[in-house]
Amino acid sequence: MDIDERTPPATTLSLRHAWAVLAVVFIADVMDLIDSSVANLAGPSIRADLGGGPVTLQWVLTGYTAAFALGLVTSGRLGDLLGRRRLFLIGMTGFTLASLACGLAPSVAFLIVARILQGLFGSVMIPQGLALVKVVFPPEHLRKALIPFGPVMGLATVAGPILAGWLLHMDLFGSQWRSIFLINVPIGVIAAVLGWRVLPRRGGEDATVRLDLTGVALLTAASALLIIPLVQGRELGWPVWTYAMMIAAAVALALFVVSERRSRHPLITPSLFGKRSFVVGLVITGGFFASLGGFTLVINLLLQLGMRWTPIHAGLTLIPWALGTAIAVGLAGAFLAEKLGRATLQIGLALAVTGLLALWWTVAHFGTAITSWNLAPALLITGFGSGLIFVPLVDYILGDATPEEAGTGAGMLNAVQQFAGALGVAALGTVFFARAGHPTTGSYTAAAELVFVIAAALYFLTLLLVSLLPKHAQQAHG
C-alpha cells in the first residue's frame, strides 16, 4: 500500500518492501539500458521507413544518450530539492509517454525530438532509483542489494540488439520498427503503478542543497557544442563553424571546471576528484564505452547495410557476443573481480582488443562472403572481454566514495558511460560513413575494418591506464 507522510524512517521498512522497491528500480534501469541500444539494430529499418541519410541514424542514437547523460548531472540534485519519489514517477511517466511518441513518430525529426525527450525523462528517473534503494535497505543488507546491478547492466546492454532483432522479425501488428519503442508502454505503466504503491515518500532528501544553474548551463553548452559538429560535420563537408564549435566546447568545459571550484553548491562533489581510483576509473569508463558504443553501431550497419542481412539474422549473429558477455559478467561478479582485482580489467580489455582485431581479420579475409559462423569466434572473444569490465569498474569508481559522495559518484559514472557512448556513436559512426562513401576505396566492409581497428586501439589505450589503479578495489577504500 501507499506510504504516507506518517511512515517511519525508510530503513525501518520490512525487507520484503525494500526488495519490492529494488524490483521497480531494476525495471527502470533495464528499460533505459535496452532503449539506449535497441535503435542500433533498428536503425536501417527506421531509415528505410522514414527516410533520411546516414546522419539520421546517428542522431536517433546520439540524441537519446547525450540527453540522458546531460540530465543525469542535475537530476540527482533535483531529487534532493523536489523529492526522489516524485521525480522517479515523473521520469517513469515521461519516459513511457516519450516511448509512445517514438513508436508513433510520423517523421525523422519527430522521432529524434521524441528520443531526446525519452533520454531526458530517463535521466530524471534513474538517479532517484539508486538513492531510494540506499534508503530502504538497512546497511547490513545494502551491499547484497547492489550486487546484481553490475550483471544486470551488462546483460541489458547486450540484450537490446537481440530483443530488437526478434521484435523486428515478429513485426507485431504490422508495427515494424515501432514495436521496439511501443513495448515500453505496458512495462512503463506497470512500473509506474508499482512505484506509486511501494516507493517511500521520503528518500533521503536534503533541503539545504541548491542547484548550480551556471554549472548546468556551461556543461550543457559544452556537450552540445561537441556533439553537433561530430555528427553533422562530415555530411556538410566540415565547414569552419564545426571546428569553431569544438573549440568553443573546450572553452565551455574549462569555464565549467572554474565555476565548479567557486560554486557553493557544485554539481559534482569536489572531493571525488581527489580520489585516484574515481578519476582513473571514469577515464577508463569513457574509453571503454566510447569504443563499445561505436562498435555496436558499426557491427549492425555492416551486417544490415553491407551484407543485406535481415534484422533477425543480424540479431542472431550477435548471440555469441551476448553469450560471452553474460558468462564473463557472471564470473566477474561471482569471484574474479574480488580475487584478481585489477587483473580482471586487464584480462578483459586485452581479450576485447584481441576480439576486435580478430573481427578486423575476419571481415578483411572473407569480405562479402562472410557468414555468421565466421564471425562467431571473434564476437565471442570480444563479448567475453567486455563482460569482464562492468563489475570491477563500478567497484573501483564507487568503492572509496563516502556516503555523501556516493550519489554524485554514481551519477557521474552513469553520465560518463552514456555520454562516452554518444561520442563513440558520433565519432566512429562518422568515420564509418566517411570511409564507406569514399569514391575509390569506399565499401561497408572497408569502413567496418577501419572502425574495428580504431576501437581496438582505444581499448588498448584504456588498458594502459588500468595500471594506475590499485591491485584490488579494497585498497582504494581502505
Mean pLDDT is highest, among 117-131, 394-408, 443-457, for 443-457
Locate 379 and state its grid cell.
564476437
Residue 313 and residue 253 share a domain: no
* Helices H / strands E in the chain, number of each: 19, 0
Instruction: State the pLDDT confidence band at 473, using cuts at 50, 70 and 90.
Output: low
Q: What is the mean pLDDT of the chain?
A: 81
CB contact set of 267 (below 8 Å; sequence gap of 6+): 73, 74, 77, 212, 215, 216, 219, 260, 408
Given this model, what pLDDT does residue 460 score? Answer: 95
Instruction: State the pLDDT confidence band at 145, using cuts at 50, 70 and 90.
Output: low
Q: Say if residue 65's pLDDT is above 70.
A: yes
Given this model, what pLDDT does residue 272 score? Answer: 76
Given this model, what pLDDT does residue 209 score? Answer: 64
CB contact set of 424 (below 8 Å; sequence gap of 6+): 289, 290, 291, 292, 293, 294, 295, 297
Instruction: State the pLDDT confidence band at 245, using cuts at 50, 70 and 90.
Output: very high
Residue 445 and residue 370 share a domain: yes
Residue 216 and residue 203 share a domain: no
Instruction: State the pLDDT confidence band at 1, using cuts at 50, 70 and 90.
Output: very low
Residue 87 and residue 121 share a domain: yes
Given this model, what pLDDT does residue 148 score? Answer: 66
> In angstroms, rounded to a whole number, what is the distance separating the alpha carbons of residues 195 and 137?
16
CB 266 within 8 A of CB 381: no
With b for 16 or more beta-carbon neighbours within 10 A and e for fewer, the 149-161 pattern comes to: bbbbbbbbbbbbb
Residue 431 and residue 291 share a domain: yes
Residue with cell 521525480: 87
Q: Domain boundary at 264, 281, 308, which?
A: 264
Mean pLDDT across the stretch 260-274?
Answer: 76
Q: Say if residue 142's pLDDT is above 70.
A: no
Instruction: State the pLDDT confidence band at 85, using cuts at 50, 70 and 90.
Output: confident
Residue 115 and residue 243 share a domain: no
Mean pLDDT is highest, among 91-105, 179-193, 325-339, 431-445, for 91-105
Name the least confident of 146-160, 184-198, 321-335: 146-160
> In angstroms, rounded to a whole number, what is the distance separating the alpha carbons of residues 89 and 218?
28
Mean pLDDT across the stretch 48-75?
Answer: 79
Residue 316 and residue 438 share a domain: yes
Instruction: State the pLDDT confidence band at 451, using cuts at 50, 70 and 90.
Output: very high
Instruction: State the pLDDT confidence band at 477, using cuts at 50, 70 and 90.
Output: very low
Residue 462 and residue 333 share a domain: yes
Tally of domains within the chain: 3
Better-scored residue on pLDDT, 237 or 196: 196
Mean pLDDT across the stretch 248-266?
Answer: 85
Claim: this prediction has a pTM higher than 0.85: no
Residue 206 and residue 222 share a domain: no
Residue 71 and residue 7 share a domain: yes
Report the CATH number that the domain containing residue 387 is assigned in CATH: 1.20.1250.20
Given this model, what pLDDT does residue 3 score? Answer: 38
CB 87 within 8 A of CB 34: no
Locate 226 and state its grid cell.
561537441
Q: Which range marks the domain in which residue 221 is found?
A: 212-264
> In angstroms, rounded to a whole number, what is the distance separating the alpha carbons of residues 469 and 407?
22
> In angstroms, rounded to a whole number, what is the distance separating the alpha carbons of residues 415 and 418?
5
Percent of the chain scored above 90 by pLDDT? 25
Locate 269 and state its grid cell.
562533489
Q: Domain boundary at 246, 264, 282, which?
A: 264
Instruction: State the pLDDT confidence band at 348, using cuts at 50, 70 and 90.
Output: very high
Name the least confident of 23-32, 48-57, 292-301, 454-463: 48-57
Instruction: State the pLDDT confidence band at 2, using cuts at 50, 70 and 90.
Output: very low
Residue 173 and residue 38 share a domain: yes
Instruction: State the pLDDT confidence band at 91, using cuts at 50, 70 and 90.
Output: very high
Instruction: State the pLDDT confidence band at 374, using cuts at 50, 70 and 90.
Output: very high
Residue 401 and residue 425 share a domain: yes
Q: Say if residue 310's pLDDT is above 90.
A: no
Mean pLDDT across the stretch 411-422?
Answer: 78
Q: Domain boundary at 264, 293, 326, which?
A: 264
